[in-house]
Chain A
Amino acid sequence: MESRCIEQPVSDRFALERDLNFIEMKKISAVIGFFVIVIMAFYFIKPRMIVPDQQVSEMSIDRGYITHAKKFDALQSRTGTHKPLGFDPQSSDSMDKYWNDRYETNVTTVTNIVKTGTNSTRVQITSVRKNKHFGTDDWELFSKIQFQNDCALEPGQSQILDILREYPPARDSSRLFTGAYAAKFVLYNICNEVNRSIDAEIRFESRVKTRLNKVNDFTETRIQRDYERHQEQCLRSWQSINEDKEQYWAVLKELYGDFPKDLFQRLMAVEYQQIF
């Protein structure tokens, strides 16, 4: 009987302790679970913020530009004299629309009369449509966003910005990215022209080879004519590249007051994957 009396409180104590342990275990599990959830949440959310993919990077690459855009909008609404921002920096559709809508409706016709070294004259008529956004704050912001997005995909393009920044008026200018973004197009055009001339060279060589396979009285004359034509084509390519460079140099001078020739030539030597 006595032994039962003694055993009873002991078993109760054990049961109580078990219950307490169970509650304690639940608490620990809850805390560990909380930690696991927090870690998982950071694991899935944080890396995407740090390493954005192409779509996300368009909007997150430069945190400053949204602030810039807001400041710009605030400034416009305060003065009430300027137009609102021409596009929504957070919407790619809006930016595409702004890009597609950049040309003026007026078309300027330019006539070039070119005298080549082989006593022939060529008349070239081209139509030019100006970018109506160029030189505006909107275009600077647009250029900045596009340039930085492109740089994220191909870091080699940042060389353009590095060279422009070597010239203090460009570095301090509010049109730095306008000049940098324009450089991409000039370099692309030059690369295209060089590629076209290489294609022409390949065609010329294959034509000469074909003619040499069918030798007759006119073979030499025809090869000579092909050679002269190719020569003219090379000079045209040279001229076209120079025109592009001159136009861009004029743009830089307009944007930054002046732009040194040595820096300009170094800028034109920039190479990256898209323009190799």
Chain B
Amino acid sequence: MIKLRSGLLVLVGIVGLVLYFSVRGLLTYSKNRTVEARSPSKVVIQKSDSPTNGNGGGRQWRASMGDIAASGVVVNCTEYANGQLSNVFILSDGIIITQSIVWPLSPSLLGTKEYETKARDAFESRVAIEPALLEFREIISEYGLDDAESKLYSGIWEIYTIRAQIRQLKRRFKEENILSYGVNSARVLADKDYEFYTIYNKSRLEQAVYYQHGKTRLEKLFGRFPDTCFDRLMSIPVFWNPVVLNSL
């Protein structure tokens, strides 16, 4: 009888401790989960180095806001050979948006002498009103990339295009046109009908798409492109849109 009682007491103690720690853990987890979902700090790119040949030869990758399990906010991007980008955004509250974007610069000309000449001409005609181009040149030159001399202006124009895309994204953010951009049924979606965080997360993921696609093009152009160089270039704001070199 005494053994039974002491056994019962020990059991109550163990159950109590298990309950205490599980409730405590649950509270901490739920709080962290909310923090992650509300203010995810970084966009995490996944599978960027493992291109697949699915979907008609497209290169696929995925980006998420912070911890994918916590935030559940994801973009699945497919880059096609013709420069088209197809993005499927999975946002909070079960919102799924499919977006199609055409990158302003054609992939076929990239790395050719013709492209470099056009980029150099465009640089010279634009640099007076867009001093950021000089900074781009200075930073790229510092890194001593392969064929940097023969591809310098093509590289500058690529960077300019990425920065201009980001500026346009920020403009859409201000104009509350984030959810409708590149979407066929534009009338269905309006930023004002959704929570700020839904719009913000979509903006950050779209920004990641531009960064990732732009960087892929730079790597194709130079063979390699250091992250530190890319980060430095992304600190420089631009004020105009680049000329589309294909049409020159």
A residues touching B (Cβ–Cβ < 8 Å)? Answer: 24, 28, 31-32, 35-36, 38-39, 42-43, 46-47, 50-51, 117, 153-156, 158-159, 190, 194-195, 197-199, 201-202, 231, 234-235, 237-238, 241, 262, 265-269, 272-273, 276
Contact = CB atoms under 8 A, between A and B. Distances in A.
Contact of A199 (B35, B42, B174): B174
B231 A266 contact: yes
Given A50-B24, A276-B173, A190 B16 contact: no
B29 to A, nearest CB: 10
B42 A198 contact: no
A238 B132 contact: yes
Interface in B201-248: 203-204, 228, 231-232, 234-237, 239-240
| Nearest 4 interchain pairs by C-beta | A269-B235, A156-B41, A268-B235, A265-B232
Given A238-B132, A265-B231, A273-B39, 18 more contacts: A35-B13, A39-B20, A43-B23, A47-B24, A51-B27, A159-B41, A194-B170, A194-B237, A195-B170, A195-B174, A234-B239, A265-B232, A265-B236, A269-B232, A276-B170, A276-B173, A276-B200, A276-B203
A34 B139 CA distance: 68
A154 B66 CA distance: 12
B161 to A, nearest CB: 17
Nearest to A156: B41
B28 interface: yes
Interface of B: 5, 8-9, 12-13, 16, 19-20, 23-24, 27-28, 31-32, 35, 39-42, 128-129, 131-132, 139, 142, 167, 170-171, 173-175, 200, 203-204, 228, 231-232, 234-237, 239-240
Contacts of A276: 170, 173, 200, 203-204
